[in-house]
Structures are given as structure tokens and as C-alpha cells.
Structure 1
Amino acid sequence: MRKFSTLALATLVGLHVSLAVQVAHAGIGGPTPVPEPGTLTLLGAAAGVVAVRAWWRSRRK
């Protein structure tokens, strides 16, 4: 079950990042709402923490 929840969390983070990028390219003929670089950095850091934690748990078993 832990593998599933780690996978689910990683999938949600990836989906959130892809949606943020799609919003950045969705505007036609006007100003486009672009996520701040800090937001994407925090999402990437959170995904890295999730990956390292999953690796660390699987390594100890």
C-alpha cells in the first residue's frame, strides 16, 4: 500500500506541474497567467523529497 500512495502522490505532483505549464501556454492574444518560478521550484523539490523518501524506505527493507 505504501508503494501505491507514493506513486499516487508522485502522479498528482506531475499532473499539477503539467497543468501549470498548460495554463502558461493557454492564452491567445492577451496576457497569459504564468506560474511563478518559485512555485515550480517548490513542486520540483517536493517531488524530489517524495522520491528520496521512497528510495530510502525501500533501501532499508
Structure 2
Amino acid sequence: MFALHQNGSIYIKAEGDLVSYLEKLGAVAYAINHDSMKKLALYNYYQLPNSIRRNKENLKKSLFSL
């Protein structure tokens, strides 16, 4: 598993079954601003919802139980 932390958000790289699992938790795909091609595009990365990101116990339960 690989993750990035950017501007206070956590993005998990996901494919296949992990995508479905993260979406059930409320994660959303990284949004790309097509108006700004200077911005880094992160395909296959999903932003964790605040309810998981801000609670260490929820984060551990959600990600380390995979």
C-alpha cells in the first residue's frame, strides 16, 4: 500500500478490490483540475474522508485490517 499526504489530505493508491473498499469508507478519487496542467495528476489515488483521517483509531481499523 502506498499513500501520499498533501495539503492536510491523505491519498491512498488503489486498484481493483481496494477501490471498492475505500469508496465504501467514503473515499473519493483524486480530482484533477483540467484548467491547470501545472498541477500534479494522481491517477488511482483516493482521498480518505475526514472522519477516518482525523481519528487515528478509525484510520488504523480501516487500513490495517486489509
Structure that is richer in helix per residue = 1
Q: Which has the higher contact order (CA 8 A, sep 6+)?
A: 1
TM-score (norm: length of structure 1): 0.26
Structure that is richer in strand per residue = 2
Larger gyration radius, structure 1 or structure 2: 1
TM-score (norm: length of structure 2): 0.25
